[in-house]
Amino acid sequence: MLIVQKYGGSSVATPERMANVARRVVSARLLGYKVVVVVSARGDTTDELIELAKTTNPNHSKRELDALLATGEQQSCALLAMAIQALGHHAVSLDAWLAGISTTSTHSNARIKSINAERIKLELDNNNIVVVAGFQGFNRRGDFTTLGRGASDLTAVALAAVLHADTCEIYTDVEGVYSADPRIVKNAVKLPEISYLEMLELASLGANVLAKRSVGLAKKYGIKLVVKSSMKDSQGTIVKEETKVEGIYISGVAVDKNIVRVNISSIKDEPGVWFKVFSIMDKGNISIDFIQQAKQDDGTKDISFTVAKDEVDGVMEAFNGSTHRLGFESISYHGGIAKLSVVSTGMATNPAVPSMMFEALFDAGINIDSISTSEIRASVLIDIDEADGAANLVHEKFRSGKYIKE
Amino acid sequence: MLIVQKYGGSSVATPERMANVARRVVSARLLGYKVVVVVSARGDTTDELIELAKTTNPNHSKRELDALLATGEQQSCALLAMAIQALGHHAVSLDAWLAGISTTSTHSNARIKSINAERIKLELDNNNIVVVAGFQGFNRRGDFTTLGRGASDLTAVALAAVLHADTCEIYTDVEGVYSADPRIVKNAVKLPEISYLEMLELASLGANVLAKRSVGLAKKYGIKLVVKSSMKDSQGTIVKEETKVEGIYISGVAVDKNIVRVNISSIKDEPGVWFKVFSIMDKGNISIDFIQQAKQDDGTKDISFTVAKDEVDGVMEAFNGSTHRLGFESISYHGGIAKLSVVSTGMATNPAVPSMMFEALFDAGINIDSISTSEIRASVLIDIDEADGAANLVHEKFRSGKYIKE
């Protein structure tokens, strides 16, 4: 029996919390599991190192930033190994190189290529609890790379896949995956389980519990994920392959206020315009939603779409650099909007879910700006000031109707 | 032309100082040198990490401490590479693994076994300034080891040897090697040059400018060392093979107040007693000096010697554990003494140096407790309260007589 556990930076921020994590790790060991633990850098270490790098040289090479950031996880790893040793158990820390986590060469956003887990297996066989540095890997030259923000989850899932772990537990500062953000929706319910697909949608919609790439990887290798609190003892949420259930359940109501609408006026109405627009977005790896277009009498059209707030500078820059190629008149953006979504795998075969959402909004007199749907998600664009209230209303509609599995 | 430069922790403690070091490194590059830079951890980083490790687990494994400490140098390396890049030059940081510094397995006090400098050479050929983490290596398992305190100098000298560097520059917070500690002796003179052997003696006598192991290694491979200030622009001191010079020169007057005298009374006066005493000292790697013995009428003898203050606990413990084997009556120690030494390679063939020291002390009425000499050193044990005055007198005797080369 082998278990992979992952603890985020806030869970190991102080020696006291580190000791608490060590106790949890040892509990799993005492249950008879071989244990591999993945940790992030302590507290704000990563942000502080980034700040220091900027002060030293705003145009530092990404390679050096990765070399610098890798130390954050190496430190928390070594300290956790010591904390486990303090409880009388054997433990070793392994950085990405020793853990055999080989990646592509793209610094600051590398992809895991393969994992040679010989050393990890050896240490497990030697009765050690193995503590692995999350977020980092090494490229073909042996240089440290990093996997992008929040990627310690990814390290944990990848190790679980390679080691054929029974479970991959993601410990975090919340108690699991909720049917809505508990800070916004007062009756939000902790879900006992959720499917990979639904979790992927929720992650895209801004639920920060699990990084999207990690869920994708877990889905690919069928790794059972458990998301739970590193502070409290509670069940947590199991993320796994969809199970056939009677009835329709929704897995979440999500509000994303971090979006703006981009309007482009008088763009040439000719074949290939949308292709050009999408290729600009693709280059910047920018997702767009709520696409609309309106033809004008002069043979041009106005188009609009939403993007994440922190992408908008990139969008404006890209379009302003393509004025000639696209031949539009002006581009502008405005905020004041929010995206309210309901996620449910049942939706694909049953239209009840979106219509219940629309009903709740209609009853409350909330105006819907536009609608966007996918196989397992229905989203509406509404006024940002009405977003929290709307989320509560919609959530309550489903909860009281027993459409949320508690 | 290749130069190895080493900067200590205080030289890179802040972004401003780091930028200053980067400027010095680039100056050497602009003179046409290929440059390899070795850096220590910034400021108090190492002490802080040790403290953190103790808080986490007072009985942590040495392996984990080494893994933790290694991050200190990795950070300063990456930051210095960034600071060099800020000046428009190419730079890469290499940790011990990437720099190929292979060591024995003894954690916290490993010895360098060999250096595979392929990567360093490759980066130099690619027009990079190469920044290497000091103080660390890796063992046959690939785990980080550390080389003991002050061992960044050792890293620099070893790299200079492997890379056949023209010079190894050790940048520090003093301007070079002085004929005496300038805080004690007001007319202390910065030496333009000193031989390896004299430097070794001075290092043993508590001059902290260069670690003894580094000088030994430099001597073994004939590496020309230059000790100079990282803050000021000045000549520094060259440490190299002894040159034949006319006349007798002394290289330093040293005061060591960090000693105590250990007295063992009524030890059996039989063959092998000193062998047993020395073997106890050897086990603890403890150096002793000023050995004296006095036979008693009852067929026993009293013996005494000096040891460094911070070794005395170990000495007491070792002897108290050997009471039966050595059959002595009591052991005690007392301070209040200091060791005043003059170092000169000319001494071996000319007795003028020790006699000038004795003359200076005699003229001032300073009582000499005992005397100890080696090939290139003459030391006296005196009252600690008279030590600073005596050092000034002795130093002035040699300086005014032109026995110190300025």
Q: What is the tens place of the pLDDT at every residue in A209-261?
A: 788 889 999 999 999 999 999 888 888 999 998 766 666 788 899 999 999 99
The mean pLDDT of chain B is: 91
Q: Which residues in chain A are contacts of B49 at CB distance < 8 A?
A: 75
Q: How far away is chain B from the Cα of A230, in angstroms, using its nearest Cα?
A: 18
Q: State phi, psi for B317 to the nearest 5 degrees.
A: -60, -45
Interface of A with B (CB under 8 A): 15, 18-19, 49, 52-53, 55-57, 59-61, 63-65, 67-68, 70-71, 74-75, 77-79, 81-83, 85-86, 91-93, 95, 97-98, 119, 141-143
Burial A101-129 (b: 16+ CB within 10 A, else e): bbbeeebebbebeebebebbbebbeeebb
pLDDT at B56: 96
What average pLDDT does range A97-105 have in this prediction?
Answer: 97
Question: Cβ(A94)–Cβ(A27) under 8 Å?
Answer: no
Contacts of B201 (CB under 8 A, 6+ apart): B341, B343, B374, B376, B377
Name the packing angle between helices B312-320 and B273-283 (round to 10°): 130
Residue B89 — pLDDT band, cuts 50, 70, 90?
very high
Evaluate if residue A206 carries a pLDDT over 70. no
Structure tokens at A112: 């895991």
* Percent of chain A scoring above 70 in pLDDT: 98
Residues from chain B that touch A64, judged by Cβ atoms under 8 A, are 78-79, 81-82, 85, 91-93
Residues in chain B within 8 Å Cβ distance of A15: 52, 55-56
Higher pLDDT, B405 or A350: B405
Report strand pairing: A167-172 vs A225-229.
parallel
Give the residue-averaged pLDDT of B56-63.
96
- pLDDT value of position B390: 95
Residues of A in contact with B122 (CB under 8 A): none
For all residues of chain A together, what is the average pLDDT?
A: 91
Q: ∠ CA A155-A158-A161 to the nearest 5 degrees?
A: 150
Residues of A in contact with B93 (CB under 8 A): 64, 67
- For residue B184, give the nearest of B394, B337, B379, B11 by alpha carbon: B394
**Yes or no, beta carbons of A68 and B56 under 8 Å apart:** no
- Residue A244 is predicted with a pLDDT of 63
Chain B: residues touching A (Cβ < 8 Å)? 15, 18-19, 49, 52-53, 55-57, 59-61, 63-65, 67-68, 70-71, 74-75, 77-79, 81-83, 85-86, 91-93, 95, 97-98, 119, 141-143
Q: How far apart are the first and last CA of chain B?
A: 29
In this predicted structure, the answer to whether residue A349 has a pLDDT above a threshold of 80 is: no
pLDDT at A207: 67
> What per-residue confidence (pLDDT) applies to A354?
87
- The per-residue DSSP string of A22-91 comes to HHHHHHHHHTT-EEEEEE--STTHHHHHHHHHHHH-TT--HHHHHHHHHHHHHHHHHHHHHHHHTTT--E
Distance separating alpha carbons of residues B292 and A76, to the nearest angstrom:
52
* pLDDT at site A80: 98
Q: Go through chain B and tell me how many residues it has.
A: 406
Query: What spatial distance separates the first Cα and last Cα of chain A, rounded to whole Å?
Result: 29
Q: Stretch B334-343: mean pLDDT, rounded?
A: 94
Give B119's contacts in chain A (Cβ within 8 Å): 141-142
Does residue B324 register a pLDDT over 80?
A: no
Nearest to A4, CA basis, from A42, A37, A50: A37
Residue B193 forms beta bridges with which residues? B238
User: What residue type is assigned to position A293 of the chain?
Assistant: Q
Which uninterrupted H or E stretch holds B16?
helix B15-30
How many CB atoms within 10 Å of residue A10? 16
Q: Say whether pLDDT at B292 is over 70.
A: yes
Neighbours of B68 (CB within 10 A): 28
Residue B380 has pLDDT above 70, yes or no: yes
| CA–CA gap between residue A367 and residue B284 (Å, rounded) | 82
Q: How many CA atoms lie within 13 A of A182 on its CB side?
A: 10
Task: Say yes or no to pLDDT of A104 above 70.
Answer: yes
- Single-letter amino acid, residue B355: S
- Encode pLDDT of B71-84 as tens digits: 999 999 999 999 99
Q: Write out the two tokens for A47.
A: 């942000």
Q: Each residue of B135-151: pLDDT tens digit?
A: 999 999 999 999 987 79
Q: What angle do CA B96, B99, B101 make, to 5 degrees?
A: 60
User: pLDDT tier at A405 (50, 70, 90 boundaries)?
Assistant: confident
- The answer to pTM > 0.80 is yes
The more confidently predicted of residues A327 and B67 is B67
Query: Can you read off the two tokens belonging to residue B228?
Result: 């100079």
Closest CB to A52: pick one of B74, B79, B86. Answer: B79
Q: What pLDDT score does A75 carry?
A: 98
| A248, A346 contact by CB (below 8 A) | yes
* B93–A18 CB contact, under 8 Å: no
Spatial contact of B19 and B83, defined as CB atoms under 8 Å apart: yes
Report the DSSP beta bridge partners of residue B371. Answer: B380
pLDDT > 70 in chain B, percent: 98
DSSP structure class, residue B269: -
- Distance of alpha carbon B79 from the chain centroid: 27
**Mean pLDDT over residues B6-25, rounded?**
95
Q: How far is CA B349 from the centre of its chain?
A: 27
The CA-based angle A234-A238-A242, given to 5 degrees, is 155
Contact A301, A215 (CB under 8 A): no
Q: How far apart are CA B202 and CA A53, in angstroms?
A: 39
Sign of the alpha-carbon dihedral angle for A47, A53, A56, A60:
negative
- Top-confidence residue, A50 or A204: A50
Please, what is the Cα angle at B66 between B61 and B70, to 5 degrees? 155
Q: What is the mean pLDDT of residues A272-299?
A: 83
Average pLDDT over residues A385-401: 94
Stronger pLDDT, B174 or A272, i.e. the higher one: B174
Q: Confidence band (pLDDT; 50, 70, 90) for B206?
A: low
Q: State residue B280's pLDDT score.
A: 83
Extended beta strands in A173-329, E state: 193-195, 225-229, 237-240, 252-256, 259-268, 289-295, 300-308
pLDDT at residue B57, as a whole number? 96
CB-based contact A264:A305 (threshold 8 Å): no
Averaged over B360-381, what is the pLDDT? 90
Residues 6+ apart with CB under 8 A from A108: A62, A65, A66, A145, A146, A148
Positive/negative CA dihedral, B330, B331, B334, B337: positive
Three-class secondary structure of residue B316 per DSSP: helix
Count interface pairs A-B at CB distance under 8 A. 119
Please, which pLDDT band fits residue B244 given cuts at 50, 70 and 90?
A: low
Burial level of A44, CB count in 10 A (0-12/13-18/19+)? middle
Distance from CA of A91 to the nearest CA of B (A): 9
Q: Is the ipTM of this complex over 0.85?
A: no
